Structure 1
Amino acid sequence: MSPDTGPIGSPLSSAGSPPAAEFPARAPQRLSVSFEFSPPRTDAAEKTLWETVTRLTPLRPSFFSVTYGAGGSTRQRTHDTVARLKSETGIDAAAHLTCVAATQGEIDDIARAYWDAGIRHIVALRGDPPGGMGGAYTPHPGGYANAAALVAGLKKIGNFQISVAGYPEKHPASADEKADLDNLKAKVDAGADRCITQFFFEAEDFLRFRDRAAAAGVNVPIVPGIMPVSNFAAVNRIAGLCGSKVPPWFANMFEGLDDDLETRRMIAATVAGDLCRRLQSEGVGQFHFYTLNRADLTFAICHLLGVRPK
């Protein structure tokens, strides 16, 4: 899968008012970015997705990733989208793969099919129980017990590059922060190459997580997951499911704008761009964007960060 920040690059005080200091202007510089998509379910959604891919490809991301529906519900669409991304853009494409609703043999067969198709990057996830992240997770009979076991299994099949998830604010099912970090370290010890975090809105949450992970012996890159959103109701719902908090200042930014999409988009780009610049000032050089299959906000934020078409 962070700061108390407000718009226009200014950290907010605990009272919610910006101090006088603002981030200095930055010269364009090359950062590493990656973009996540969901496999389209309709012809209209497919058209939107490939318009988004066309807009974002010139930014030369390090990779694209494609999500995997609950219980493998998008298995074939995920495979087709990943294969098409790689063949048509020439950019590395990563397929999400979960432990849910499949035996080890079934998951291994899916991984081999990716390997045979030239896909060498997997985002390995435990996956959510059928009732969502709030429900109790029970491993599938004969399946992989958790993401660490999945990572180990994938490494036996081929030398995949493997990304795994991290949770700056703790996974909802983890007993505490230590248990959460122990789980992340188990995934890395099993062979994971990178941790991509769940989205967050306070930079300090990410920075604390990064420091705690390093202290726990997690020695792979920790990449912040950024979700630029213009629909407050939607992000509030998603955050509730995945354990991310929505700070009061964020809600305040969208107050009174239910019928003003244009302003919401401008605010969303400013807030997310501010978060990225704050993290960049703390040495972060990689960002993973949850695009929601739309290009506009992600493209704008990358432009702010100096990531632009050549």
Structure 2
Amino acid sequence: MRVLVICFDNVGDVVFSSLVPMSIKSNFPNSKVDYLCKPYGEVVANLIPSVDNVLSIKPYWAKNKSDKGKFIDFLKLFLNLNKNNYDIVINVSKSWRPSLFSRLIRVKEVIGFKSKKNNLFLTKSVTGYSKNIPVMDSISSLLTLIDIEVIEPKYSLDIDFSRKLPEKYIVLHPFAGDISRCAPLKLWLKLAQSLKDKLKIVWFGTPKELQLLKDRLGKSVSDHYFSDTLSDNNFLDAIALLPNAELFIGHDSGPLHIAASCKVPVLGLFLPGEPNRTFPQGGGISDIIYKEEPSLLVYQEFQDKVFELLEVTGSK
């Protein structure tokens, strides 16, 4: 059986979708599973166990200019994929367009989530994502369409565990795709100062995000570590810092789920977000804080949650 899994959503969604290739290979060991995503998600897709080949292209419908590709390039890719003779395409994306192109290359079985447009091209479908249903349960329901029953729906990535720092450390990720969902940096700094005598602080983010943090917080973070410098701006090497952290703290975004995928204890900030749907689902120790907006996050509650998790993990 040849299967193409498609996810043109964000990095966190790529992590969630890891359940699909793992479950297929577990139930059909001789199957071949390819994975198609945005270039932005390619590094993470390559960490998904059981994926044979990762392909990437910029979707032509993307709203962000840096993510937007060309229609003709997308069409050429799918025409080229036609030679792979896929038996099944599983489209976990929110967009209906991958389903359309899969039918254009005459894939017999195209599976995905129900929506007004997606229904026109799917051969089998299940109810779409809901803010009150865990993502892993929604993805598990897709797998029932190919007779796979998932007993324990959780995500997992194959991350190198050999990378560690000389001191015990905690990873802080104060960023998200939407800055309006982020807790103020002064709150993060206060937390870091309360922890620095116990653990080394590692700030996690893109070079641009971390430069902004350094500019705003100045000398107060001069003796802290930063994932971009520790990894020489290599995202894969930065990810390798996560498995040996004592705790990861971050907003509801891709890095939170990458950390949770390797069972690092995590604290997720949902300010607001959809905690019933996208809470950490890697099977390890986790907790969340939910507020309707960042201004409602109280520092003492934030600190208390962190210290509770550190006590549970024996790192306090």
Q: TM-score under structure 1 normalisation?
A: 0.32
Mark the structure with the bigger radius of gyration.
Answer: 2
Q: TM-score under structure 2 normalisation?
A: 0.32
